Structures are given as C-alpha cells and as structure tokens.
Amino acid sequence: MKLLQPFVSTLLLVGSGVVSAASSWGFDDATVTVQAKGAGVGAGTKEKLSPNTPLSKSVSLGATDTLKLLLTAVDGKKAKRPHQAFLTLTDPTTGLEESFVLNVKESGKGKVDLTHKDLPVQFLTSTKPIVASIVIGSFGSSTPYNSKAFELDIARDANVPLAIPEKPLRYAVENEIHHVFRQDPQSPSKMITIVFAVGVLAAVPVLLGAWATLGANANHLGKAMGAAPLSHALFVGSILAMEGIFFMYYTSWNLFQTLPAAAVVGVVAFLSGSRALTEVQERRLAGLR
Amino acid sequence: MRGLFSVLLLALVSAVSAVSSTGGRLLVVLEEHSEREKYGVFFGDLEARGFHLTIESPKSESLSLFKHGERAYDHTILLPGKSKGLGPALTANTLLDFMKKEGNILIALSSDHAIPTSIHSTLLELDIHIPSDKGALVVDHFNHDSNKAAEKHDVLLLPFPQALKPNVKNYFAGEGLIAVPQAVGQTLGNESPLLAPILRAPNTAYSYNPKDEADIVEDPFAVGSQLNLVSAMQAHNSARLTVVGSAEMLQNAWFAEKATLAGKAVKTANRDFAARLTEWTFKETGVVKVGKLIHYQDEGVSKKMNTSLAIPEHNPTIYRIKSDVNFQIEISEYSQDRLAPFLPAPGDHVQLEFSMLSPFHRLNLSPISQTANSTIFGVSFKTPDQHGIFNFRVNYRRPFLTSIEEKRQVTVRHFAHDEWPRSWQISGAWVWIGGIWVTVAGFVAFVAVWLYSAPTEKSVKKTQ
C-alpha cells in the first residue's frame, strides 16, 4: 500500500484534469498572430494553440509587430467568462513576471494585444526566449488553468537605442577593490650596469698608466720623508682620513658625527699641510722639481 | 550587602526578561475593546516574550506616542478599527516622528475595515502603495483554503517565505502553511533600498475589489509576485515598520486552523509566522552590534593575525604608505534574548573600505575567530602608495539587518628620508657610485704624484 501511495497520488494529479473535466477551466479556438505594421489583415504568421501542449516553435515578435492572442475560455466544455484571464510572461533567467489581462467578453471570447511598448525593458533585453503562459481561473469550485502556451522570442532592432533605466540602489555585497600600486622604479639589467661600471673603474689604471708614460713616479718619497717625516705623514694621512670620513658619512654617519671629525682632520691637514708644502717648495727652489 | 545583592539580582532578572534589544514597552492601538479577545493568543505570546503591553483605543484622551518629547513606547502595533481616522495622537507625522526616534511600528490592515488616512499617507510617504478603494483584497484561484473560502478564494494558503535573495538572511523561515485571509495587497516603490517584501503573493494571485460589479477583473491593482502580503521598511536609523496585509491572520481563529489546500488537509502555522514577524519588527532578531575595532601595523615578525580580543583598542593614528596593516572588527547579532556570534549569509561578506574620498581598497572580511557572543572578522592588506587622510570604513547595510557604519580616521604618510633603499642597493646606480670612487682614487693618486714625483729627463727637457 505504502508503495502504491505515490503512484496513486500521481494518478490523482494526472487524473485531476480528466476526472473533474466537467468543472475545470481551459480554452478553445486559441490563436496567436504576429502582424507586422502596415501589413494587411491575415498577412502575419498565425499559430494555433492547444491547451494541453505548448507550441513547439517560439513566436517571434519584431519591434513594430503586434502580437494578438485570441481564445475562448471554457469551463468544462461550455464557453464561459472567467474572472481571471491573464497572459503571463516570465523571464526564465531572472524570474521576472508580467501579466496582461485578456479582455474577455460575455461569450468567453477573449483577446489581448501586445507590442514592444507594452513590455518592460527587462524582457526586451532578455537573451533567452520569454515563457508565455495562460492563466484562467474564477471563483467557485472549477479547477483553474495555468499552463505554458508558447515561447516568445523578442526580436529587437539593434539600431534603435533602448532607454534602459538606471539600476536602482540595493544593499548587497559590492565588488572587491584592490588598489593597483604604481610600478616600482626599474633598473636596467645588471649585466649592462656591470659592463659600464667596469668601464668606469678601468679609468683608474688607464689614468695611472698615462701618467706613468708621461714619467710620473714617487722617487722623492724618501727625500720628503727624510726632510719632514711627521708633517708629510700627517698631511697624506689626513687627506686619506677625510676620504674615510666621506665614506662613513655615505654609509652610516649623520652630519653631526661627520662635521666634528672633518673639523679635526681639517685642522691637522692645514697645519701639517703648510709644513709639508714648505718642504715641497724647498725642493722646487733647490731645482729638484 | 545582602540588600545590594538582591537589588543587583533584580536588575539582572529584569534585564533578562526584556527580550527586545531596544526595550519592551509595546503600545497596541485597538479601537474595539471587545476585539481584544480575538487577538488573545497573539498578545499572550508577546507578553510571554517579555513585552509590556498597553492596549489603547485611538479615541482615548491619554493616548500619546511621546512623553516630554521622548518616546513613551518602544514599539507600536496598529490594528484596524471601524473609524476612518486615527485621531490627533496618531497622525502620519507623529508616526514618522516615532520612527525617527527609533520606534518600531507594525501596521495591520484589513479589507473589512476602512484604512485610516493617516496610515495611507504614512505608507505613501515610505513608498508603499496600497489600493485606494476600500474593500480591495487579494484572491488566488490556485492557492486558497477550500474549507473557508471555497467560493470566494480570498483566504490564501502560502508556505513560509524563502530568503529574499540567496545572499540575504531569512528571518521568516518556518514549517507549514500561512493562511492570509482577506489581505490588502501592497506594492513597493522600486527606488528605495530600504523597502523589502517579506511575504509575496503567489504568481497567480491578483488584487481586486469585490464591490466592482464587473464579473471579470479588468484593471487589477497588482498581479502575481509584485503584490506583497507583508512588507517591511527599515529606515536609515534602523527603525522598522512592517505592514501586514491581513490583520485576521494574527487572530486566534487562524493561528492553528484546519484548512484544505488543493484537496489536502493542512494546519495553518500563523502563530509561528506572527512570532517571526514581531520578533523581527520589534528588534529581537536581525540586530547586529559592533564590539571592538582594532587595526595595527604588521611588524613582519609573525605574519599571523591576532585573533583574540585581549589587546586594547589603542589604534595607531598614522601609517606609512605601502605598509602591511591588519584590521579586525568584532560583530555580534542579537538573537531573541542574547548576543550571538554574527555570520553573514552564504555569498554575503562584511566589507572593509580603506578610503580617501573614494575607496582605494574594498576587501571582504573573513571570520578569523569566534567568542561566546561575537565573531571577529579580519583582513590584512597593504596601505596604498598614496599619502593622505584615510578612513577604515565598515558600512554594512543589508535587507532585514540593522546597519553598521564604522569609521576610523588615520593619516597615511609617505616614506621618511631614511626609509628609502640605499643607493648601492639600486643596481642602476653602480656606474655613478663607481664614478665617484674613481674620482676619489684619482685625486689621492694625483696628490701623491704631485708631492713625490721626481722630474724625469723628458719632462726636464720639456720645461727647458
């Protein structure tokens, strides 16, 4: 019995249309016509609709066309005027719905006209065909009818711009933003740098070589050291020390460490320099330079 | 000592029994005192949840929403009555003023009763539209109770609402079917993000006026799911207003009633739904609260983020550009009677903006740890390469949740002179550095040669 139950209920569901056929809503003689603007009566495409199966091919609606849906609402077998007779369009992607009321006469004959102007903009921009279903229902005990009738393909003229209203503000999560950092400064490839740096460093031996060919030497070193050893040692030493101070300033010292040291070394260079240069002058006067 | 203790205990007990996060003083505006019995279970449930109910007639002299310029009640329920007006104490202006002072309102409409003009204009002010003709109601030939409304089809039987969107929390979920008898449908304006539908009509429903003689609906007020049976508005100050299309659904008669939907016997679950509705409207659910907000510089010692609340909220006021910063915020959610850890709906994120005029960063915050009654959300990022006055900003606004707006201002400075890389670290500078030292070496060599060079034959000749 338990096994049978779902089976029975599906039977009931299927049968509900048949069993209560005497009191269920439906329609007859339904046609959907798409007529181009200016075309004569009967010039457009015409399709017959059946209440049980939706139309196999979709109906195309152009920008200037008019879609006309005609049907006769029936309660059981008898034509009757229902309270509710809607053509409901549903966007399959967003689920947006819009219903159009059929103008139904006493005799149950109903009709509705549809053009692009009647459709909300979301339907016009939809990429998938729009599902059109017919809803017929009324008060009392008759089973109402709601079934897909056909698919509507909206053909839009690409040249005509569409006034799409701006999306209203809704509170929801927003897209992440990651700051795009400016590019770090770039250095040329190290190979190039090294080649040029070696070129620059090579200037020292070139210079010394050039001086050597011109006859530069240090032959008087012994003579000078003999004449004024202290002042020469201090003078050359203070010049080297000054370069050392510059090196320390470049690498780690601040100005307040550099200046006192430079002052001390400067005084030493001045005092010892005047003695050392006097010795040089004496050599010159002696005709040795 | 004992006396002090009992006073403390009393304070604690009274704090526990006040369930809503904003207070328990509830005003019920009901015209007919005799109708009180009809809502007995509804009122009983509210009292059991800790609300202190004051039931007043709109005609009462003493009725006033304000006392000495402050709210006299925390929440208000407006139930429909016979008369067309609600009197001087409940004009549209006072209702809006009540909301400006963060009072919450639940408005119940009924198609049997005239809708007072003050409610009409309040709703219009909030961009909630209801049919202007008296008696208009929602019918559905597909989802009605065939017990009580076999002929008129005006008692809708609907499942509990689904989440508004997949990434929005659903505070109105439940089991069973809700009966909505003789509802006044509402439509919501499209512009405002503050409006949200709670219970939508099924897509075959429509609103019509039974007084219309026509036996066909020609120009329905609204159709299908664009028609709301219960809708909500949450103002910028988080005051809430709920419009219930059918006051009858809050009555005892429909709280647990036998009904028939498409031949199947069901029991209505209106009592549950009414509880969900009032819980949300009176701020027992969907209330979020910010605790500690901490940001600090990542020193690079450990790249792990702090996950505890132990460190105090002493946030630095200055950061350097391009430095690593950690940010964390503690958020809890009020759930019925206590604070619980808050977690956003799947697909939703609390977001941090690091902004100067416009956001430079907008980052999703991820939950990094949880305490007994809060979640700590955090993210780490690099400050942008632009100095100026920036804000850490968390602006979390979602339907059905009170809004979070937190801002912390910091200065972002550029590199100090000693924070740049040294010149020898830049390979492109090696040529120039080499040039300087070549000059130095050349100078020293020149000094030595000038001081100690003996004249050669060649140079002697030259000077001659």
Between CA B173 and CA B275 the distance in angstroms is: 11
| CB pair distance less than 8 Å for A217 and B456 | yes
Between CA B408 and CA B427 the distance in angstroms is: 40
> Which residues 36-75 of B have a C-beta within 8 angstroms of A?
none
Between CA B102 and CA A264 the distance in angstroms is: 77
> Which residues 158-187 of B have a C-beta within 8 angstroms of A?
165, 167-168
| CB pair distance less than 8 Å for B362 and A176 | yes
Between CA A195 and CA A21 the distance in angstroms is: 97
In a domain? residue A73: yes
Minimal Cα–Cα distance from A260 to chain B, Å?
21
Q: How many CA atoms lie within 13 A of B141 on its CB side?
A: 22
| CB pair distance less than 8 Å for B142 and A137 | yes
SS3 of B194, please?
coil
Q: Give the number of A-B residue pairs with CB atoms closer than 8 Å.
A: 176
SS3 of A66, please?
strand
In a domain? residue A9: no
For chain A, how many residues are written? Answer: 289
* pLDDT attached to residue B242: 96
Contacts of B63 (CB under 8 A, 6+ apart): B29, B56, B57, B87, B89, B90
Between CA A88 and CA A134 the distance in angstroms is: 6
Asked if the C-beta of B448 comes within 8 angstroms of chain A's C-beta atoms, the answer is yes
Total tally of structural domains belonging to chain A = 2
Kindly state whether residues A150 and A246 are assigned to the same domain. Answer: no
* pLDDT attached to residue A267: 96
Ranges of chain A whose pLDDT falls below 50: 1-22
- DSSP sequence for B369-418: EE-SS-EEEEEEEE--S--EEEEEEEEE--TTS--EEEEEEEEEE---GG
Asked if the C-beta of B189 comes within 8 angstroms of chain A's C-beta atoms, the answer is no
B175, B160 Cβ separation under 8 angstroms: yes
| CB pair distance less than 8 Å for A144 and B204 | yes
| CB pair distance less than 8 Å for B193 and A211 | no
The tokens for A102 are 């059929």
Q: Which residue has the higher pLDDT, B17 or A51?
A: A51
Task: Name residue, tokens 């369930």.
Answer: B19
Between CA B176 and CA B161 the distance in angstroms is: 11
Minimal Cα–Cα distance from B431 to chain A, Å?
4
In a domain? residue A207: no
Please name the member of B215, B219, B449 whose beta carbon is closest to the beta carbon of A83. Answer: B215
Q: Tens digit of pLDDT for each residue in B289-317? A: 999 999 998 877 655 666 777 777 788 99
**Average confidence score pLDDT of chain B:** 87
Q: For B329-354, what is the mean pLDDT? A: 92
Chain A residues whose beta carbon lies within 8 Å of the beta carbon of residue B445: 204, 207-208, 211
How many helices (H) and strands (E) are present in chain A, helices listed first? 7, 11
Query: Which amino acid belongs to residue B315?
Result: N
Task: Name residue, tokens 């250095």.
Answer: A187
Chain A residues whose beta carbon lies within 8 Å of the beta carbon of residue B428: 187-188, 193
In a domain? residue A203: no
* pLDDT attached to residue B431: 95
Res B435 pLDDT > 90: yes
* pLDDT attached to residue A289: 74
> Which residues 321-350 of B have a C-beta within 8 angstroms of A?
322, 347-349
For chain B, how many residues are written? Answer: 464
Asked if the C-beta of B385 comes within 8 angstroms of chain A's C-beta atoms, the answer is yes
* pLDDT attached to residue A22: 46
Kindly state whether residues A150 and A26 are assigned to the same domain. Answer: yes
Helix orientation angle between B40-48 and B270-281, rounded to the nearest 10 degrees: 50
Residue B288 DSSP label: E
- Residue A85's alpha-carbon distances to A36, B150, B317, in angstroms, are 25, 19, 67
* pLDDT attached to residue B344: 93
Distance of CA B83 to the CA centre of its chain: 36
Q: Which of A105-119, B48-62, B223-237 has the lowest mean pLDDT?
A: A105-119
To test the contact with chain B by mutation, choose from A204, A232, A240, A243 the residue with the greatest count of B C-beta atoms within 10 A, namely A204
A228, A275 Cβ separation under 8 angstroms: yes
Kindly state whether residues A272 and A149 are assigned to the same domain. Answer: no
Please name the member of B225, B361, B440 whose beta carbon is closest to the beta carbon of A243. Answer: B440
A-chain residue closest to B207, CA distance: A84
Q: Is B111 left (phi over 0), alpha (psi -120 to 50) or beta?
A: alpha
* pLDDT attached to residue A207: 94
Q: How many CA atoms lie within 13 A of A107 on its CB side?
A: 8
Distance of CA A189 to the CA centre of its chain: 34
B-chain residue closest to A215, CA distance: B456
A-chain residue closest to B212, CA distance: A83
- Nearest C-alpha neighbor of B237 from the set B334, B103, B406: B103
Res B238 pLDDT > 50: yes
CATH of the domain at A122: 2.60.40
In a domain? residue A271: yes
The tokens for A149 are 């009738």
- DSSP sequence for B163-192: PSSTTS--SS--SSEEEEESPPPBEE-SS-
pLDDT band at B145 (very low <50, low <70, confident <90, very high): confident
- Nearest C-alpha neighbor of A271 from the set A246, A238, A242, A224: A238
| CB pair distance less than 8 Å for A83 and B440 | no
Q: In which domain, by residue range, is A265 found? A: 216-285
In a domain? residue A46: yes
* pLDDT attached to residue B338: 87
| CB pair distance less than 8 Å for A144 and B141 | yes
Final residue of a structural domain among A102, A123, A154: A154
Please name the member of A169, A216, A224 whose beta carbon is closest to the beta carbon of B193. Answer: A169
A139, B141 Cβ separation under 8 angstroms: yes
Strands (E), A50-192: 59-61, 66-75, 78-79, 84-90, 97-101, 103-104, 109-114, 130-137, 145-154
The tokens for B45 are 């449930």
Asked if the C-beta of B462 comes within 8 angstroms of chain A's C-beta atoms, the answer is no
To test the contact with chain A by mutation, choose from B422, B427, B433 the residue with the greatest count of A C-beta atoms within 10 A, namely B427
* pLDDT attached to residue B209: 85
Final residue of a structural domain among A126, A154, A182: A154
Please name the member of A101, A217, A219 whose beta carbon is closest to the beta carbon of B218. Answer: A101
Between CA B250 and CA B41 the distance in angstroms is: 9
Between CA B445 and CA A216 the distance in angstroms is: 11
Query: Which amino acid belongs to residue A167?
Result: K
Asked if the C-beta of B445 comes within 8 angstroms of chain A's C-beta atoms, the answer is yes
Kindly state whether residues A35 and A127 are assigned to the same domain. Answer: yes
> Which residues 205-234 of B have a C-beta within 8 angstroms of A?
206, 208, 215-220, 223-226
Kindly state whether residues A150 and A241 are assigned to the same domain. Answer: no
- Phi, psi at residue B60, to the nearest 5°? -60, 140
B263-271 long-range Cβ contacts below 8 angstroms, 24+ apart: B263/B146, B266/B157, B266/B176, B266/B177, B267/B176, B267/B177, B268/B157, B268/B176, B268/B177, B268/B178, B268/B179, B269/B160, B269/B174, B269/B175, B269/B176, B269/B177, B269/B178, B270/B178, B270/B179, B271/B41, B271/B45
Kindly state whether residues A149 and A259 are assigned to the same domain. Answer: no
- Residue A281's alpha-carbon distances to A272, A288, B110, B443, B449, in angstroms, are 14, 10, 121, 21, 15
Between CA B203 and CA A86 the distance in angstroms is: 11
Between CA A162 and CA B194 the distance in angstroms is: 28
Chain B residues whose beta carbon lies within 8 Å of the beta carbon of residue A140: 150-151
Q: Which helix (H) or strand (E) holds A256?
A: helix A255-285
B342, B375 Cβ separation under 8 angstroms: yes
Query: What percent of chain B is modeled with pLDDT above 70?
Result: 92
The tokens for B190 are 């499209």
pLDDT band at B12 (very low <50, low <70, confident <90, very high): very low
In a domain? residue A52: yes
Minimal Cα–Cα distance from A101 to chain B, Å?
7
A71, A110 Cβ separation under 8 angstroms: yes
Asked if the C-beta of B129 comes within 8 angstroms of chain A's C-beta atoms, the answer is no
Please name the member of A174, A203, A221 whose beta carbon is closest to the beta carbon of B452. Answer: A221
- Residue B6's alpha-carbon distances to A188, B3, B11, B17, B22, in angstroms, are 80, 5, 8, 16, 25
| CB pair distance less than 8 Å for B219 and A170 | no
Minimal Cα–Cα distance from A46 to chain B, Å?
26
Minimal Cα–Cα distance from A57 to chain B, Å?
25
Final residue of a structural domain among A125, A154, A183: A154
Chain B residues whose beta carbon lies within 8 Å of the beta carbon of residue A104: 216
The tokens for B96 are 């809006």
Res B108 pLDDT > 90: yes
In a domain? residue A192: no
Kindly state whether residues A38 and A148 are assigned to the same domain. Answer: yes
B-chain residue closest to A232, CA distance: B451
Question: B76: how many CB neighbours lie within 10 A of its CB?
Answer: 27
| CB pair distance less than 8 Å for B362 and A174 | yes
Chain A residues whose beta carbon lies within 8 Å of the beta carbon of residue B444: 239-240, 243
Kindly state whether residues A122 and A33 are assigned to the same domain. Answer: yes
